[in-house]
Amino acid sequence: MPSIDDVTNTPDELTDDDAEALLEDADLVQDMTGEVCPYPQVEAKKGLQKLEAGELLVQETDHVPCTENVPRAVGDDAEAQVWRSGDATYRIYLRKQA
Amino acid sequence: MVATLLVAAVVGLALGAFLQKGRFCFVNAFRDFFAYKDSRVTKGVLAATFLTMIFWGIAYQFGYYQGFWTPNWGLTGLVGGFIFGVGMTYAGGCASGTLYRAGEGYLQFWLTLLFMGVGYAGFTVAFPTLERTYFEPLTFGEGVSLFTVTSVPAGLVGLAVAGAGLLVYATLVGRSSTGAAFGERADVAQFTPSTLSAPVVGLRGFAHGTTAYVRGLVRAWRHPIDASKQPWDPRTAALGITAAAAVLWFTQVSIVGVTGPEARWTGYLLSQVGVDAGAFEYWGSILFQGQGVGVTVDMVMIAFVIVGAFLAALWSGDFALRVPKRRRLPNAVVGGLMMGAGSRLAPGCNIGNIYSGIAELSVHSFIASIGIVAGVYVMTHWIYREVGCAI
């Protein structure tokens, strides 16, 4: 059966203001700049294992594919949102699900 | 000559741009499929390979082609492919992925390219010994493309193999989705009747997915500027790569390879700093085929891939000089060396073997592709050892 994932494959994008506000709210921030796949995926999974449901993990990255690969890698474990600076840096917001 | 160089520039720029926009990476395609069953890029790779196969079959049948690349087959494909597969997974980018990321400004992948060069050079020095101790005992037969040995028209062979590939894919997808339907939705009154066989379910899913994709493409065309800056579906990249590589390059020049031209670049650059590259058997008589060490048209094309990726990244706001973390340096050094050496030992990289080689139905490339994918599988499990893989 075709799933919704076949149609939409990018996570929601955050506005600049929301991205700033949420970053202050983060329970764990991982600096992934200078990293390449698949290490951010692996670190995101490890980071989420440390968090409780409802807590927020933020990854800062400059690796373009991560904005899609990291949300995919954590799957149903977290709800993902992405912020693009427009200047080749990105943040991935992962809220751990119950 | 000027016309050929122009074709090289156009094809290189197009390939670079499509690779960058589609994040078309063979490591991603297989690694993420093994790690967490993400098949987006895998679909793109399959689409590109099968579309190219059909086009090359037809082009061959009617004589619009310049030549196939069919190395002798044997266990070298398995050994070299495996080394290359492990290397590219560790490095974080395949032969083509390394090129487009170099264009995006990753110093990490320039370092990978440098050490691939060291791998090519090391292989070249060791080649006379390897020829006797490795290639001769492990090579079993003359290289051949299945297009050339059947009496069936090549266009039909291409269509048939691509169709069979689609059917296998549909069966696998269909089987896993009917399984999931039973497992997860047993409480829902109307679920898939068990009489509906897996291939039908899979093909229906394929048709549905393709329709949704085309609709998305049409929607994107309404805002071409905005859409051009967003990341593209890997299937869009597949279509673009097929047009550039399959149609233009194949009819005008050859099949597409990456590491072969890179190994030539290594020889050429070394010859510019005083090394007599032509005196080495591998560079002189094999890679440059006794024509003298110089810049060949496929070397120009590969260089333009980096330029194309750079322009696409700049346009999308994805370009930046990215300095790697120090702990990632072994990935570039060791991964690059293994890619350089592995691609020569096979011979061929992911583009030469998985994309071009399967599309031209070369026996060697089927074997080498198995080796490459096996290498990715093993290395993915090692990298994910702490969090686990799905497959």
Nearest to A34 among B319, B328, B380 (CB): B328
pLDDT of B222 over the 90 cut: no
Model pTM score: 0.89
Average pLDDT in the A36-64 region?
Answer: 91
pLDDT at residue A10, rounded to an integer: 67
* Mutate which: A12, A30, A36, A67, vs B, most B CBs within 10 A: A36
Pick the residue from chain A with its C-alpha nearest to B108: A34
pLDDT tens profile B198-209: 888 888 888 988
Of A5-19, B39-53, B107-121, B220-234, where does mean pLDDT reach its minimum?
A5-19
Contact B32, A72 (CB under 8 A): yes
pLDDT tens profile B301-349: 999 999 999 999 999 888 989 999 898 999 999 999 999 999 999 999 9
Query: What pairs with residue A31 in β-bridges?
Result: A60
- Going through chain B in order, the beta strands assigned E by DSSP cover 73-74, 139-141
The listed range with the strongest mean pLDDT (A15-29, A80-94, B8-22, B37-51) is B8-22
Interface A–B counts its CB contacts (< 8 A) at: 103
Query: CA of B387, closest CA in chain A: separation in Å?
Result: 7
Average pLDDT in the B52-75 region?
Answer: 88
CA distances to A80, A88, B248, B283, B379 from A40, rounded to whole Å, are 14, 16, 37, 39, 16
CA distance B123 to B127: 6
* pLDDT bucket at A22, cuts 50 / 70 / 90: confident
Nearest to A48 by CA among A25, A27, A69: A27
Distance between alpha carbon A79 and the CA centroid of its chain, in Å? Answer: 8
* Mutate which: A64, A77, A82, vs B, most B CBs within 10 A: A64
CA distance B192 to B286: 57
pLDDT at residue B387, rounded to an integer: 85
* pLDDT bucket at A6, cuts 50 / 70 / 90: very low
The listed range with the strongest mean pLDDT (B52-61, B63-72, B368-377, B380-389) is B368-377
pLDDT tens profile B160-190: 999 999 998 888 888 776 655 444 444 444 4
Token code pair at residue B226:
């905005």
Query: CA of A45, closest CA in chain B: separation in Å?
Result: 7
What's the mean per-residue pLDDT of chain B? 89
CA distance B41 to B23: 8
Contact B146, B73 (CB under 8 A): no
- Report the percentage of chain B scoring pLDDT > 90: 53
Pick the residue from chain B with its C-alpha nearest to A7: B212
Query: CA of B30, closest CA in chain A: separation in Å?
Result: 12
**CB-based contact A35 B27, cutoff 8 Å:** no
**Domains in chain A with CATH codes:** 15-96 (3.30.110.40)
**CB-based contact B231 A73, cutoff 8 Å:** no
Nearest to A1 among B23, B28, B181 (CB): B181
Residue B265 neighbours by CB distance under 10 Å: 20
CA distance B282 to B340: 14
Token code pair at residue B187:
């409480």
**CB-based contact A69 B28, cutoff 8 Å:** yes
**CB-based contact B320 A10, cutoff 8 Å:** no
Nearest to A3 by CA among B43, B189, B181, B246: B181
CA distances to A13, A49, B108, B347 from B352, rounded to whole Å, are 37, 40, 23, 9
Residue B290, phi then psi, degrees to nearest 5: 70, 10
Query: CA of A76, closest CA in chain B: separation in Å?
Result: 11
* pLDDT bucket at B196, cuts 50 / 70 / 90: low
pLDDT of B191 over the 80 cut: no
ipTM > 0.85, yes or no:
no
